[in-house]
Structure formats: C-alpha cells, structure tokens
Amino acid sequence: MTETLTWTPTVAPSALEQYGVAQAIVGGTKIALYAVDGDYYATADLCTHGQASLADGYLDGDLIECPLHQGTFNVKTGAAVGAPCTVAVRTYPVKLENGVLHVGMES
Ligand code: FES
C-alpha cells in the first residue's frame, strides 16, 4: 500500500532563528521543528522518556536535549543518543515552500 503524505504549513524559518527549535501543531499532534546548518527537521514534540516538550529543550548541533532530564535525541534520525532516553522519537519530513515550513504526515 502506498502512503500519501499530507503537507501542513507550520511556521516561517524565522521562528527558528533564536533557539533553533520551535513548536507547531500538525493535525492535532505537537511537533518540534529544528534548524540545523540551513536544513530543517521535525520530530514529535513529546519526549519518549516523560512528559516534556522537546521544543523547550536545548538544541546543540543536531542534538536536542530534553529540558526535563537532559536526555538527548538526534533530530535528523530521531535516535535516542543520551541517557535516560532509550526510545527513538518519531521524525517527520519537512519542506520549505512559499517561505513556510511544511511538515508531512501520512494520511
Ligand atoms: Fe525527557 Fe526525561 S522527560 S529525558
């Protein structure tokens, strides 16, 4: 079965300028958007370790540090790379169109 992506506009890249990360809601799901070296990435906003928003975390290169227990994820792959996180966070495709970042979700 072929899955179709629905692209939803979220925020302008300027929203990521200050911290490199921002939150958006796509189809009722909270998403964290990241800017890394001129490219854009998106993951689920909810940390897989607890009830924390990754968009409130600290972005260092391609790693987002959770604000609650300082676990880390690679924002490009979603891989959990720093304890106490062990479960990957879901990633979503991002594209820049008409000056707005669009996040793709299966529909
Ligand atoms: Fe994110 Fe614990 S809630 S590391």
* 5-106: in CATH 2.102.10.10: yes
pTM of the model: 0.95
In contact, 75 and 62? CB cutoff 8 Å: yes
- Nearest C-alpha neighbor of 90 from the set 100, 98, 80: 80
- Give the closest residue (by CA) to ligand 1 atom 3: 50
CB-ligand 1 contact for 81 (6 Å cutoff):
no
Residue-wise pLDDT tens digits, 31-54 = 999 999 999 999 999 999 999 999
CB-ligand 1 contact for 68 (6 Å cutoff):
yes
Q: Indicate the pLDDT class of residue 74, thresholds 50, 70 and 90.
A: very high
CB-ligand 1 contact for 50 (6 Å cutoff):
yes
Distance of CA 67 from the midpoint of ligand 1 (Å):
7
